[in-house]
Structure 1
């Protein structure tokens, strides 16, 4: 059996498969600027990726990350209100690396160097609507569910 993830940009969904059997479907939020691979574009990269690193195992729901490290904060409505416009990276991080040289790996199109993650976001942020800076945002409890089901190296295909 082989677990894999498929992100559908048009449908704003992330599906976890085991071979061809659907294990879970989640609503997500991808790049506000659409799809694209260029560094600095704010777009969600397409193509085949893998989970390079799993970060945050065991951290409380709502743990705030900056530079992939917990800040010691736990996100709540008052923290969000006090920091308008902050790009929240919460709970867990699945850091992606591109597998297609010239498309999403290497040079100005390198997903890993662009710091593209699957990560949690405040509950106040809508799902099913493109709103991120290029990452794939999920509800925190959905992200924990996904995180706990997949190993490092899991294949992630982003369809745009």
Structure 2
């Protein structure tokens, strides 16, 4: 995730961009001195490039299939601890 750009429904989508088209889960890390994922814009989000799931193709985010991230978004409450492992 590198920034927010508003798009209108009729705007063409750049084919190489990893656009967030469904849900985004903002994460606050537990590291000291405010070195956390929210300030570094590292999120869990859906992608329009679902065929690249599992390949390094973002700026540090965790990309999921859109249907999966929508399900996850609906399952977790605010302040739910999330552990991310390799």
**Would you call these one fold, judging by a TM-score over 0.5?**
yes
**1:34 matched to which residue of 2?**
none
- 1:93 is matched with which residue? 24
Structure 2 unpaired stretches of 5+: none
Write the mapping of 1:13-92 to structure 2, written as runs, cut at 5 A: 67=4, 71-73=7-9, 79-80=12-13, 83-92=14-23
Of Structure 1 and Structure 2, which has the larger fraction of its residues in strand? 1
Deviations 1:7-50 (A, max 9, x none): xxxxxxxxxxxxxxxxxxxxxxxxxxxxxxxxxxxxxxxxxxxx
* Structure 1: stretches of 5+ with no match in the other structure: 1-65
- Residue 129 of structure 1 corresponds to 55
Structure 1 position 149 matched with structure 2 position 75: yes
The 8 Å contact of residues 30 and 36 in structure 2, kept in 1 or not, is answered as: no
Structure having the higher Rg? 1
* Alpha-carbon separation, structure 1, partners of 2:26 and 2:74: 15
TM-score after normalising by structure 1: 0.45
Deviation string, structure 1 residues 112-152 (Cα, Å, up to 9, x no partner): 11111100101454112222110000110111111111111
Shift of 1:72: 4.1
Matched residue of 1:115: which SS? coil
In the aligned structure 2, how far is the partner of 1:120 from the partner of 1:126? 11
Larger relative CO (CA 8 A, sep 6+): 1 or 2? Answer: 1
C-alpha distance in structure 1 between counterparts of 2:83 and 2:60, whole Å: 15
RMSD: 2.6
